[in-house]
């Protein structure tokens, strides 16, 4: 939303129903929220017998429990994936929403707010399941996450157990695992809401958990052994590795959110820190094309994708303000280059993941793992590319129209937006952000095409389209190949071929 406010012609062209009548800013409607509120009043009492009555039959319960405990993923989503029927009466299975509502009633009746044992764990599992429910609004999830965070702080989860002698070694390691999830979800959801983290970093010292198998731990242990190398796969490895990148991402967000302008030397230092953090992860979790991952399990592929997206998102967020800030200044040219390259990589991953989740693709059965958090990354990257193109057009920067062949940098941006627009258009009718994204990208694509036609016309009339233009993007000249103007019909055909291939 904040990026769209910086693109004048897009802001003025979007339909008026998407505008906020109070301040004129654009917003995304989260849609209806059918969830039970965890802050319901005393009239919402729910007895043990009520809870038992609401459960499905024992065979169905056994099936759901088996699916839960045999899940390949560290983070529980829900007992139903998006491909499952919402309510299969022939099997006696209630809908996921009904089970979530029953869970909420149990939490309320059990007095979760009194900091009872396992209340945090139960609340967090409840919240995780709602992340996969498209009827749950991001705002509601953020509010309920705030409840979990306040309760976790009250129960001391933010302090490392080594300094709390009343907590056993085993319990302490379990608390580190819980805090790891809270720490990461807070960073992602708060950023998606455009708000600061709800965790006071200066008061938190809980260390990440060790890379242990469950069999390495026991309830009566008196000390922790040395954790396994991160080269060794355990259920905890992905979360630990992600935490290292997430910690830098949170620093980046804190650096970019204050009202005052950030120090540019700090920006460059954080860029180096993020790149070092990603470089330091195990090789098996580093970027690899999905199409080349023939022997890898789908969960490893998803872990690679999410780690790379988090890293790239950090780079985009860190440097995004310099897209518009003094666009003719060479001082900030590295930031513009880093930001645009990262944004284009994110859009490339969007296309890869979309193709892989189509019927017959490597990730078809894991399509439900592409949540609104992941789609938010794709949206952010597309809006940054749109912003960059709009700045070029407004500033009469030559590179927007002096497109020297299909591999030019502007050609790459145009092609990436085309692919992204087609993907968002295929999702229209689902969350409203799909509609906004599709319309915005379509507007930008048409605007760039019009600008290219205008410049060609100027050239044909013998006019100099570059009179008075500045000289930014000098460091990008090495990325431009060829000497002929881009053939838009050829680019469109290449794009349509890729879409057809993806659909197949």
Kindly state the average pLDDT of the residues 492-496: 46
Identify which has the larger pLDDT, 149 or 35.
Answer: 149
**Structure confidence at residue 54 (pLDDT):** 85
Copy the structure tokens of residue 391.
């700045």
CA distances from residue 335 to 2, 177, 323, 394 in whole angstroms, order as listed: 19, 35, 8, 19
Q: Chain-wide mean pLDDT for the chain? A: 77
Identify which has the larger pLDDT, 54 or 453.
Answer: 54
pLDDT band at residue 472 under the 50/70/90 scheme: very low
Distance (Å, whole) CA 123 – CA 100: 11
Kindly state the average pLDDT of the residues 217-240: 93
Identify the weakest region by mean pLDDT among 96-105, 240-249, 453-462: 453-462
Identify which has the larger pLDDT, 248 or 408.
Answer: 248
Sign of CA dihedral 16, 17, 22, 27: negative
pLDDT, tens digit (0-9, with 9 covering 90-100), for 308-363:
999 999 999 999 999 988 877 889 999 999 999 999 999 999 998 888 888 887 77
Kindly state the average pLDDT of the residues 407-436: 77
**Structure confidence at residue 158 (pLDDT):** 95
- Checking if the pLDDT of 79 tops 60, the result is no
pLDDT, tens digit (0-9, with 9 covering 90-100), for 142-170:
888 999 999 999 999 999 999 888 999 99
Burial (CB count within 10 angstroms: exposed 0-12, middle 13-18, buried 19+), residue 296: middle
- Checking if the pLDDT of 495 tops 70, the result is no
Kindly state the average pLDDT of the residues 116-124: 89
The pTM of this model reads 0.80
Whether residue 172 contacts residue 162, with contact meaning beta carbons closer than 8 Å, is answered with yes
Identify the weakest region by mean pLDDT among 45-59, 220-234, 273-287: 45-59
pLDDT, tens digit (0-9, with 9 covering 90-100), for 246-285:
999 999 999 998 888 889 999 999 999 999 999 999 999 9
Identify which has the larger pLDDT, 482 or 180.
Answer: 180
- Checking if the pLDDT of 406 tops 50, the result is no
- Checking if the pLDDT of 134 tops 60, the result is no
Distance (Å, whole) CA 386 – CA 379: 11
pLDDT band at residue 386 under the 50/70/90 scheme: confident
Distance (Å, whole) CA 297 – CA 96: 27
pLDDT band at residue 464 under the 50/70/90 scheme: very low
**Structure confidence at residue 85 (pLDDT):** 45
**Structure confidence at residue 294 (pLDDT):** 64
Buried b (16+ CB within 10 A) or exposed e, 310-341: bbbbbbbbbbbebbbeebeeeebbbbbbbbbb
Kindly state the average pLDDT of the residues 114-124: 88
Identify the weakest region by mean pLDDT among 80-94, 102-116, 248-262, 449-463: 80-94
**Structure confidence at residue 279 (pLDDT):** 95
Distance (Å, whole) CA 70 – CA 92: 22
**Structure confidence at residue 43 (pLDDT):** 52
Query: 356-363 contacts: CB < 8 A, separation 24 or more?
Result: 356/290, 356/301, 358/502, 358/503, 362/290, 362/293, 362/298, 362/301, 363/290, 363/298, 363/301, 363/302
**Structure confidence at residue 435 (pLDDT):** 76
Distance (Å, whole) CA 38 – CA 35: 9
Whether residue 154 contacts residue 115, with contact meaning beta carbons closer than 8 Å, is answered with yes
Helices (H) and strands (E) in the chain, counts: 15, 0
Q: Is 138 helix (H, G, I), strand (E, B) or coil?
A: helix
């Amino acid at each position: 939303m904040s990026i769209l406010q910086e693109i004048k012609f897009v802001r003025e062209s979007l339909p008026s129903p998407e505008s906020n009548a109070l301040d004129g800013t654009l917003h995304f409607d989260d849609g209806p929220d059918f969830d039970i509120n965890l802050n319901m009043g005393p009239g919402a009492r729910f007895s043990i017998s009520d809870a038992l009555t609401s459960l499905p039959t024992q065979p169905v319960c056994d099936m759901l429990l088996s699916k839960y405990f045999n899940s390949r993923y560290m983070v529980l989503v829900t007992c139903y994936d998006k491909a499952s029927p919402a309510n299969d009466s022939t099997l006696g299975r209630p809908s996921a929403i009904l089970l979530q509502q029953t869970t909420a009633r149990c939490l309320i009746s059990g007095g979760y707010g009194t900091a009872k044992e396992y209340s945090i764990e139960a609340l967090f599992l409840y919240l995780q399941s709602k992340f996969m429910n498209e009827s749950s609004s991001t705002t509601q999830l953020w509010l309920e996450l705030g409840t979990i965070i306040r309760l976790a702080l009250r129960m001391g989860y933010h302090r490392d157990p080594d300094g709390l002698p009343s907590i056993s070694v085993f319990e302490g390691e379990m608390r580190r695992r819980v805090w790891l999830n809270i720490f990461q979800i807070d960073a992602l959801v708060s950023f998606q809401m455009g708000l600061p983290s709800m965790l006071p970093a200066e008061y938190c010292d809980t260390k990440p958990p060790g890379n242990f198998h469950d069999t390495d731990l026991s309830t009566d242990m008196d000390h922790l052994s040395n954790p396994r190398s991160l080269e060794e796969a355990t259920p905890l490895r992905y979360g630990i590795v992600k935490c290292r990148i997430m910690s830098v991402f949170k620093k980046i967000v804190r650096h970019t959110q204050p009202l005052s302008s950030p120090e540019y030397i700090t920006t460059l230092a954080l860029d180096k820190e993020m790149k070092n953090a990603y470089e330091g992860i195990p090789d098996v979790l580093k970027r690899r094309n999905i199409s080349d991952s023939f022997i890898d399990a789908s969960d490893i592929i998803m872990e690679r994708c999410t780690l790379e997206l988090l890293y790239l998102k950090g780079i985009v967020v860190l440097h995004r303000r310099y897209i518009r800030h003094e666009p003719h200044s060479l001082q900030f040219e590295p930031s513009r280059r880093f930001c645009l390259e990262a944004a284009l990589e994110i859009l490339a991953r969007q296309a890869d993941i979309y193709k892989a989740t189509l019927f017959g693709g490597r990730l078809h059965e894991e399509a439900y793992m592409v949540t609104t958090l992941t789609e938010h990354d794709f949206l952010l990257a597309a809006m940054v590319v749109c912003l960059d193109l709009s700045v070029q057009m407004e500033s009469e920067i030559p590179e927007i129209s002096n497109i020297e062949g299909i591999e030019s940098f502007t050609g790459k941006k145009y092609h990436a937006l085309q692919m992204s627009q087609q993907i968002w258009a295929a999702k229209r009718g689902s969350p409203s952000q799909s509609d906004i994204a599709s319309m915005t990208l379509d507007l930008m694509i048409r605007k760039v095409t019009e600008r290219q036609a205008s410049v060609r016309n100027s050239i044909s009339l013998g006019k100099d389209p570059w009179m008075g233009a500045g000289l930014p993007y000098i460091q990008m000249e090495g990325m431009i190949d060829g000497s002929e103007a881009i053939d838009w019909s050829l680019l469109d055909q290449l794009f349509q071929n890729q879409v057809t291939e993806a659909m197949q």
